[in-house]
Amino acid sequence: MMERRVVITGLGAVTPVGNDVQTMWENILAGKSGVDFVTHVNKDEFKAKVAAEVKDFDPTAFVEKKDARKMDPFTQFAVAASKMAVEDAKLTIDDSNAHRVGVWIGSGIGGMQTYEDQFRRFLDKGYKRVSPFFVPMMIPDMAAGQVSIQLGAKGINSCTVTACASGANSIGDAYKAVQRGDVDYIIAGGAEAPITNMSFAGFSTAGALSLNDDPKKASRPFDKNRDGFVMGEGAGILLMETLESAQARGAHIYAEIVGYGATGDAYHITAPAEHGEGAARAMQHAIKDAGISLTDVDYINAHGTSTDLNDKYETEAIKTVFEDHAYKLAVSSTKSMTGHLLGAAGGVESVISIKSIVEGIIPPTTNYETPDPDCDLDYVPNEARKQDVNIVVSNSLGFGGHNVALVFKKFEE
């Protein structure tokens, strides 16, 4: 059986740098940061003071108020971005195709705000005052569940939970579902709303968060003075479909997804495998899956978290895979502006990667001031670069040793 080509026809995003794709893209190209002093928690109680929060988001612009109240913020973000993507694709979901429309949206943590609110209510007022919606608001798969309900999508409905690789794994898994014929269309990506007291505390005590008290300078991937990641929130969603269906509909095609690689480190619960061994294999698998040459790759949207080992080992992984071509590649981390959206990162960064192909512009790594001898590639420092982009690799790596690489390609008939 011949594998079906899979194209991207719709994009949606809710991010710290904009609550729609175009606003997000314009701000990223301008190097604008979505990082500021954290407001979702009391910053005076934590050593880390900054976060990349979504601003001025109104869920009732996308769902009825009564429905919004039954959704944790991560689900609200997912529903909003999914509706944007489906509208962008001009896809009508009705009885004629609903069973061929899937949903695959990942979240690393799920409804942490709901969990904390309801646990506080349990402690203060007893179990009878816990909301009957507690469990269906909290569980990570409910973003996919609610998107399916809100849009009437009756095909495969799934959620990949792989920490900070969740969004990328979900897109890769969804891509394969379309490629092999399980569905003809799929709404896929990641959503996260993790900026809560317990999450902030956990990442703080783990020493993972930046302690920089200058918000705009805190997230600095690949810079020698990086000191940890900045927690972010939001959602990034793609509408993917078969090339045949897109052509039959006369849909606008942004790009094609051609490769997916996923590996495990089998090494440590939080630290990446030494020298980026697992990340390197993920990229190698994705490139093999795509059937391309190493020299075909123009740009890598790096995981680039602004943590010491991640940035060092991801750089090593890129050099292991691409050898001499590594120094001819553009590599940038848009987390320098969006912060780290955890399970949503792969979704948002896939949208950014696709936009870079369409627009022929590579977004910068901002706050790159002091080169690190261990990080010696072309990180597109501080300013966006106009350049023809044919193929992009987007990397996502997660706690538990999850490594994902996605390959997006300029669409050609």
Q: Write down the mean pLDDT value for the chain.
A: 97
Residue 211: the pLDDT is 97
Q: Which of 40, 159, 285, 340 is catalytic?
A: 340
Cβ 353 vs Cβ 392: under 8 Å:
yes
Cβ 323 vs Cβ 145: under 8 Å:
no
Helix extents (H) in 31-132: 65-68, 73-88, 112-125
Neighbours of 203 (CB within 10 A): 20
Mean of pLDDT values over 259-263 = 98
What are the chain's domains?
6-249 (3.40.47.10), 260-409 (3.40.47.10)
Tell me, yes or no, if 164 is annotated catalytic: yes
pLDDT by residue (tens digit) across 45-83?
999 999 999 999 999 999 999 999 999 999 999 999 999
Cβ 111 vs Cβ 139: under 8 Å:
yes
pTM of the model: 0.98
CA 188 vs. chain centroid, Å, equals 10
List b or e across 317-335, with b for residues whose CB sees 16 or more CB atoms inside 10 angstroms.
bbbbbbeeebeebbbbbbb
Tell me, yes or no, if 402 is annotated catalytic: no
Tell me which DSSP letter residue 152 carries.
Answer: T
pLDDT by residue (tens digit) across 165-217?
999 999 999 999 999 999 999 999 999 999 999 999 999 999 999 999 899 99
Q: Which of 309, 293, 318, 307 is nearest to 405 (CA)?
A: 318
Evaluate if residue 283 carries a pLDDT over 80: yes
Tell me, yes or no, if 303 is annotated catalytic: yes
Q: Which of 159, 303, 375, 402 is catalytic?
A: 303
Cβ 234 vs Cβ 24: under 8 Å:
no
CA distance linking residue 58 with residue 5, whole number of Å: 36
Taking the chain, what is the end-to-end CA distance rounded to the nearest angstrom?
20
Residue 383: the pLDDT is 98
Evaluate if residue 1 carries a pLDDT over 80: no
At 294, list the tokens: 């190493």
At 101, list the tokens: 């429309």
CA distance linking residue 62 with residue 71, whole number of Å: 12
The CA-atom distances, in angstroms, between 68 and each of 4, 48, 77, 79, 339 are 37, 30, 10, 10, 25
Q: Which of 164, 285, 375, 402 is catalytic?
A: 164
Q: What are residue 13's DSSP bridge partners? A: 236
